[in-house]
Amino acid sequence: MKNKLVRKKAVLIDIDYQIVEGKTAVRLLLKGKRFFRLFAHYEPYFYAEAPKGAEKEILAIRVASRERQVSPTRLERVKMNVLGEEKEVWKVFCERPYDVPFVSGALKDHRCFENNIPFGKRYMIDMGLSPFMKIVYEREGKYLKRIIRKSEAPAQLRTMSFDIETYNPKGAPRPEKDEVIMISCEIDGERKVITSKKIDRDFVIHCKDEREMIKTFLKIIREKDVELLLGYNSTVFDLPYLKTRADVNGLDFSIGRDGKTFRVRRRGIRDVAEITGRIHLDLYPLVRFMGFIGAFKVSKYTLENAYVELTGKKKLMVQKLDIHKMWDDDSLVGELADYSAFDSQATMEIGKLLVPLMVEMGRLTRLPLFDAANATAGQLVESLLMQKSFEHGQIIPNRPGDALAAERELGPIQGAFVKLPQPGIYENLVVFDFRGLYPSIITSHNIDPYTLVKSKDVADSECFVSPMGHKFRKKPRGLIPTVLEELILMRGKLKNEMKKAEKDTPEYEQLFARVQSLKILANSYYGYLAYPRSRWYSRECGESVTAWGRHFIQETMGKAENAGFVVLYADTDSVFMIMEKKAKEDALAFMKKVNSELPGDMELELEGFYPRGVFVTKKHIGSQTGAKKKYALIGEDGRIKIRGFELVRRDWSNVAKTTQRKVLEAILKHGSKEMAVKIVKDMVDWLRSGKVPLEELTIYTQIRKDPGKYDIKSPELSAAQHAIAHGMPVEKGTVIGYVITKQGATISDKARLVELAKDYDPDYYIDRQIMPSVLKILHELGYSEDDLKLSGKQSGLSEFF
């Protein structure tokens, strides 16, 4: 009996495929009242650049695949733009997606394209679909027959955050031996802590043992019908730990909607954990990625630090090594439950900041939420370009093989221009930035691998000629500048809309997330052009972008000097100028004149006026060579802008960062070198007292390779090896916090993980942390190391007062 044709609507979440009754079927994950699946028949295909007469040759292909002989099912002759040239090519259809590489591989005499695109991605590109798109459709039974309408839909997912606490008498918990003592979760604004102890907290769910705790956790996920599960480092720690403890307790860790457990697979440089029928987002690698690309600043990537720096709020804390002690102490176990509940709250709050950004990124790049959140900047750019290639009738270039990528890596592209400043303290500064320098260079000069002119017959007048001598046709418009220009225009329009929207409303939050995602994408295009594994790689394009960047920054410096300004410092897209006796109106008039002479979309913007700034030396005292991006400025609003100083690095202790910040504030805000010196002396005295908390002295660093494979002993290695000897597993990639103690002959010998440290070496922190962090600043005011170490007012300083 034939199924009735039914019209429905739902929101698209993800797409993959399945072989159903021997045929390829696209499988759409949709959301109505809950997640459900629909199927659609669709043919896999690729393109072959073969002559018109090659039809019989192609159809005659018979090649052994995994379990059967495969061959093309049919052909179509189509017109496409192939790497910049209009051509006719064969569109070769196959029965199953995994037949495509076998059939294309058999066409050794002809170039093949688009033979390695995931089939779900293929369908999404061809149908013009994107995640979180509402579709009105007709279905017949479980099969999609027709999409009638498509429109954007809000991303409304039943979201739960979770976190676990484990018994850890040996420091680091051992999943085969140490129990999970608390599982916290938050959903619908309600937090719960599942535990096997009776605790006087209304949010605690008491279970008889660990086995029942895990069952209760899985039951909540099923009953709440969780669609988005948020964790922090959950791929590496929480999920595998729970799975191991479930195995120990004879349980199936059936977290998926299909009743199965999660799957871990490699995605680029990291692992990802997939849960069937649910979206699992591990926020830890996402925070690292956002920090790496400069979307926001996070100095350390722990949950505690990410929460503080992203939300501006303080997180409830306990010492990790005290968890098992608190669990064993009935008077403290309630406090531990509070901490456990707060971990889920912190994870949820970070998720509320990052998930909307990833939703909008997914919409733009046509990537499902899980894929967008786990993608690199290059993968995000590539996904959007693949979609736009299809829309423009252009063949998607092939991904390079290992040998070609290795060849491309030889000989790095020359980077940006930097004019280093003379170290010192300066007043009355103005700073200008080129708005989106590299993106605007690409759009203004039509830089694209397929607008690049390789023939000498094309006149210079028809091209943009880069300082490297490479020519780019002015017409027609290339794909990359076209797409990039669309992103820039869209971002400008949305920024204007955002100004009109009321803050703390869903409309404002969506606009903010979309503006941020557009900025991230636009700023990633130059890097993608120069990335050796890019489908659209072009060395000529990459080196032309940076060459034009050097040209325009140096040209602007020359114009500034001619206009009577003193150029103090320049770096990539910024120019720092001393105004001396010039007024603000003079600076703005200079900017207007520069902009009138810039090509295309390029624009110089006012970054700010600064009453005072400090620039320091990079090397030893007495050097006259300034340091790239090592300065501090105070704005007209009193805010301090800091670049390159130790307080933004994690391999310095808090005492060094705090002292440096206070010294900078004393000089920039108060103009007082006396206050700055007193701050340093007071910190020296406090360190010598032995009363500084160890947390303030902790130095964080990442173990870059196996602790057993270091050739040279270092403090972090010594601390790691000491921790391993005390039953705390430390491996490659682990971020550790260590303190330099009094025990040991050398600095390396004295290093201990903060959890194992009992004291600290004040001389180390004075000589190796405090002094290096402030001396380069105060040296410009005439102070020496001895001046700063001595308590009280010294005669050697009198000449400066």
| One-character DSSP codes across 187-203 | ETTEEEEEESS--S-TT
**pLDDT digit string, tens, across residues 419-440:** 988 888 899 999 999 999 999 9
- Tell me the C-alpha distance between 624 and 362, whole Å: 48
Angstrom distances, CA of residue 750 to CA of 23, 145, 313, 690, 692:
66, 70, 34, 16, 17
Higher pLDDT, 648 or 750: 750
Cα 360 to chain center, whole Å?
15
CB–CB of 413/539 below 8 Å? yes
At 430, give phi and psi (nearest 5°).
-130, 140
Q: Which two tokens stand for residue 506?
A: 């869903």
pLDDT for 23 equals 84
- Tell me the C-alpha distance between 132 and 154, whole Å: 7
Q: Among 73-82, 532-541, 611-620, 763-772, name the one with the lowest average pLDDT.
A: 611-620
pTM of the model: 0.84
- Tell me the C-alpha distance between 506 and 641, whole Å: 31
pLDDT for 775 equals 80
Report which of 580, 626, 561, 604 is spatially closest to residue 431, judged by C-alpha positions.
604
- Residues 6 or more apart whose CB falls under 8 angstroms from that of 697 comprise 653, 654, 655, 739, 740, 760, 765
The number of residues in the chain equals 801
Q: What is the mean pLDDT of residues 472-498?
A: 93
Report which of 637, 633, 638, 628 is spatially closest to residue 577, judged by C-alpha positions.
633
CB–CB of 577/586 below 8 Å? no
Percentage of the chain beyond pLDDT 90 is 63
At 601, give phi and psi (nearest 5°).
-85, 0
pLDDT for 729 equals 66
Enumerate the H helices of 293-428 as residue ranges.
303-311, 323-328, 333-365, 369-373, 377-391, 402-408
CB–CB of 184/201 below 8 Å? no
298: confidence class by pLDDT, cuts 50, 70, 90: confident
507: confidence class by pLDDT, cuts 50, 70, 90: confident
CB–CB of 485/443 below 8 Å? yes
Higher pLDDT, 303 or 180: 180
Report which of 18, 530, 127 is spatially closest to residue 366, judged by C-alpha positions.
127
Secondary structure (H, E, C), 213-262: HHHHHHHHHHHCCCCEEEECCHHHHHHHHHHHHHHHCCCCCCCCCCCCCC
Return the exposure string of 4-23: e unless at least 16 CB atoms fall within 10 Å of the residue's CB, then b: eeeeeebbbbbbebeeeeee
Q: Which two tokens stand for residue 117?
A: 């695109």
- Tell me the C-alpha distance between 182 and 361, whole Å: 34
Burial (CB count within 10 angstroms: exposed 0-12, middle 13-18, buried 19+), residue 122: buried
pLDDT for 620 equals 39
Helix (H) or strand (E) segment spanning residue 102: helix 100-106
β 69-70/143-152 pair status: unpaired
- Tell me the C-alpha distance between 672 and 38, whole Å: 70
**pLDDT digit string, tens, across residues 316-352:** 888 777 888 999 999 999 999 999 999 999 999 999 9
Higher pLDDT, 270 or 564: 564
Q: Which two tokens stand for residue 495?
A: 């920024």
Torsion of CA 473, 479, 480, 481, to 10 degrees: 60
- Tell me the C-alpha distance between 43 and 126, whole Å: 11
Strand order in the sheet with 74-82: 74-82, 85-93, 45-49, 111-113
Sign of CA dihedral 282, 283, 286, 287: negative
pLDDT for 705 equals 67
- pLDDT over 70 (residue 797): no
617: confidence class by pLDDT, cuts 50, 70, 90: low
Q: Which two tokens stand for residue 757?
A: 């440290």
pLDDT for 556 equals 97
Instruction: Indicate the angle between helix axes 771-779 and 654-668, nearest 10 degrees.
Output: 20
Q: Which two tokens stand for residue 512?
A: 């903010």
Q: What share of the chain is helix, strand, coil (3-state, %, to 5)?
A: 40, 25, 35
Return the exposure string of 649-671: e unless at least 16 CB atoms fall within 10 Å of the residue's CB, then b: ebebbbbbbbbbbbbbbbbbeee
Termini Cα distance of the chain:
99
Most confidently predicted of 260-264, 458-462, 636-640? 260-264
Q: What amino acid is encoded at 619 in this protein?
A: K
pLDDT for 725 equals 76
**DSSP assignment of 142-190:** TEEEEEEEEEE------EEEEEEEE--TTSS--TTTSPEEEEEEEETTE
- pLDDT over 70 (residue 647): no
710: confidence class by pLDDT, cuts 50, 70, 90: low
Instruction: Indicate the angle between helix axes 303-311 and 283-292, nearest 10 degrees.
Output: 60
- Tell me the C-alpha distance between 329 and 342, whole Å: 20
**pLDDT digit string, tens, across residues 220-233:** 999 999 999 999 99
CB–CB of 663/778 below 8 Å? yes
pLDDT for 669 equals 86
Higher pLDDT, 445 or 5: 445
Strand order in the sheet with 159-166: 204-206, 190-195, 180-187, 159-166, 228-231, 279-282
Residue 393, phi-psi category: left (phi > 0), alpha (psi -120 to 50), beta (remainder) = left
pLDDT for 482 equals 96
**pLDDT digit string, tens, across residues 405-423:** 999 998 889 989 999 888 8
Q: Which two tokens stand for residue 345?
A: 């709250």
**pLDDT digit string, tens, across residues 569-593:** 999 999 999 998 899 999 999 999 9
pLDDT for 703 equals 72
- Tell me the C-alpha distance between 77 and 57, whole Å: 14
Percentage of the chain beyond pLDDT 70 is 93
- Tell me the C-alpha distance between 104 and 93, whole Å: 10
- pLDDT over 80 (residue 1): no
List, in sequence order, every residue forming a beta bridge with 228; answer none if it has no partner.
159, 279
| Half-sphere exposure in the Cβ direction for 755 (13 Å, CA) | 20
Average pLDDT, the chain: 88
Higher pLDDT, 277 or 171: 277
Q: Among 616-620, 654-658, 751-755, name the one with the lowest average pLDDT.
A: 616-620
